[in-house]
Amino acid sequence: MTERTPLLHPKFTLNGFAHSESTLMDAAYSLIKEGDPFELVIGDFLMDWLSDSDTITFKTSGTTGSPKMKTFTRHQMIASAKLTGAYFKLSPGQSVLMCLPAEYVAGKMMLVRAMVLGLQLHFVEPITTPIPYEKQFDFAAMVPMQLQASLKQLHQIDQLIVGGAPISQELIRDIANVPTDIYETYGMTETLTHVAVKKLNHTLSGIADDTFKALPGIEFETDARSCLVVTASHLDLHKCVTNDVVTLLNDKEFTWLGRIDNVINSGAVKVHPEYVESILRDAFKCEIIVAGVPDPQLGERVLGIVETEDLPDKYMELLDSIEELDAFHKPREIKAISEFTRNDSGKIDRNTTLEQLNLK
């Protein structure tokens, strides 16, 4: 009979308390019965982890449509946790901050890493400014909105991974000289979080890396659409086809261009909204969504929607000074909306926001 894999490293702690499987089950039950809503979800996942079932189901973020369910084995989750631990040199007894929602893979895998690697995990409510005062952490994961709001406290974290939404050039400049080593991650539910990282500060060149580099054991290729295809041996994942358009440099490195679902065909030119958004976000100093709308001559014309109380004319005037974009990539029109719709992790819900403006 095969011996059961231990589910908890002996050095694992949860908010300062060491646990056996039995006491962690009790703690999880208390979170479900007495905790705040974000704690209830943590308790649910801990109960799933400690259950007799060898599989756990994850919900995708629903970035490009309705959320879907994806099931993984405990073996795959352990392998993913060990890969992250090896890459970032995490060792038993180190402290980690969990400030992402446990509804989704990024939050769940923070829990798994702590339990598998023997880390001292401190969880907090996934708010915009999540770093507790007077606490120091070896490792944490955030979304860009949290990173932006936590600049003055980043010295409390040694290594930080950031994902889930685009990171503006302005924010990259803001973190250039902070002591924390900060990485942008590429991954998804289907790959159990990140399979590639991009160093954003403290690089040899002195500027943020342009390309994502594979974690050990990960290989990349592209399909006929120039979309990334991922092979991850540690997950027994062979040729996972994504909808992310990339420039592939080799089987270990790529530049992300955008989602193929969002490509705008304007006058026979393929416009990647995410690229245009990154340029305009930096120039306009506000969030922007770029979308295509029907046009009798061009097929689609480029439209910009800015998140602001200002009049859109101000931004149309700024377009003339932006040299990084040619005429096909610059919006022909700009609309303003006071607030974009966002999901639980703070990511802009592009489709819902466009639907509110009757553009979908």
Q: What is the pLDDT of residue 174?
A: 95
With CA atoms as reference, report the closest residue to 86 among 187, 211, 197. Answer: 197
Alpha-carbon distance of 29 to 33, in angstroms, equals: 6
Q: Under CATH, which architecture does the 263-356 domain have?
A: 2-Layer Sandwich (3.30)
Output 184 or 60, whichever has higher pLDDT: 184
Strand, coil or helix: 167:
coil
Q: Is the pLDDT of residue 355 over 90?
A: no
| pTM for the full predicted model | 0.91
The residue whose two tokens read 């909808």 is 243
Please report, as a single letter, which amino acid is at residue 256: W
- The 10s digit of each residue's pLDDT in 11-36 is 999 999 999 999 999 999 999 999 99
Please report, as a single letter, which amino acid is at residue 230: V
Give residue limits of the domains in the chain. 13-217, 263-356
With CA atoms as reference, report the closest residue to 305 among 260, 271, 267, 339. Answer: 339
Q: Is the pLDDT of residue 1 over 50?
A: no
| Superfamily, domain 13-217 | ANL, N-terminal domain (3.40.50.12780)
Asked whether the domain spanning 263-356 has the same topology as the one spanning 13-217, the reply is no
Alpha-carbon distance of 195 to 46, in angstroms, equals: 24
Alpha-carbon distance of 230 to 343, in angstroms, equals: 26
- Mean pLDDT (the chain) is 92
